[in-house]
């Protein structure tokens, strides 16, 4: 049984793409360990503040506001499909969840800010923030929701096409080996 629909996973990935390094499997993180600064090193408060400012000016903070409601909405739908006779109870149980877990976004934002602060100087972070404050930067931030939606649509169509092609390829290969699926 699939827990999260591909559409939601793509949206989630697009929304938190800067944070994906945090969620990578350990073996991928280990491969990158040589080039990443040590987590044990204390981060300069100026760098940390500049990184948090960047997350705000880049619109990432706002983007995270949609993640928990989308996740709970999708999960609610899945639970109702599993137990439609309990739809009212399931809906009631989900009512308080977005508010309860929305505050948890700060945990991830702090981790992402730390990630940025480890890799960029305060001056670099401020320069990037200045871009996001510029007219072009504000335009770019304003386009992110639409770009994410369109990217999700393209990704879903591409994934379906590639998935069908892979399935046909494997079926043909197995058929040649005498295995019918």
Nearest to 51 by CA among 139, 110, 106, 132: 110
- Measure Cα distances from 55 to 26, 28, 35, 80, 82 in Å: 25, 24, 23, 35, 38
Q: Residue 78 above 60 pLDDT?
A: yes
Determine contact, residues 67/12, Cβ cutoff 8 Å. Answer: yes
Over pLDDT 70: what percentage of the chain? 77
pLDDT at 10: 45
Q: Residue 9 above 50 pLDDT?
A: no
**pTM score of the predicted model:** 0.60
Nearest to 102 by CA among 149, 62, 75: 62
* pLDDT tens by residue, 100-155: 887 788 888 999 999 999 999 999 999 999 999 999 999 999 998 889 889 989 99
pLDDT at 14: 42
| CA angle at 157 for the pair 154 and 160, rounded to the nearest 5° | 145
Determine contact, residues 109/68, Cβ cutoff 8 Å. Answer: no
Q: Residue 37 above 70 pLDDT?
A: no
Contacts of 91 (CB under 8 A, 6+ apart): 76, 80
Helix 67-82 and helix 6-15, axial crossing angle in degrees, nearest 10: 170
Question: Mean pLDDT over all residues of the chain?
Answer: 81
Q: Residue 17 above 80 pLDDT?
A: no
The whole-number average pLDDT for the span 160-181 is: 93
């Amino acid at each position: 049984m699939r827990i999260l629909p591909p559409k939601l996973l793509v949206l989630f990935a697009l929304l938190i793409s800067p944070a994906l390094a945090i969620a990578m499997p350990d073996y991928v993180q280990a491969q990158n360990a040589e080039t990443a600064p040590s987590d044990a090193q204390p981060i300069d408060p100026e760098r940390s503040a500049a990184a948090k400012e960047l997350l705000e000016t880049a619109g990432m903070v706002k983007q995270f506001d949609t993640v928990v409601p989308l996740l709970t909405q999708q999960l609610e739908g899945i639970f109702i499909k599993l137990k439609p006779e309990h739809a009212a109870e399931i809906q009631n149980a989900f009512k308080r969840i977005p508010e309860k877990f929305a505050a948890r976004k700060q945990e991830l934002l702090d981790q992402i800010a730390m990630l940025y602060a480890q890799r960029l100087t305060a001056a670099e972070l401020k320069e990037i923030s200045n871009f996001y404050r510029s007219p072009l930067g504000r335009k770019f931030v304003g386009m992110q929701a639409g770009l994410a939606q369109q990217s999700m649509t393209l990704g879903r169509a591409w994934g379906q096409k590639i998935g069908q092609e892979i399935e046909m390829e494997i079926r043909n290969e197995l058929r040649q080996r005498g295995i019918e699926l």
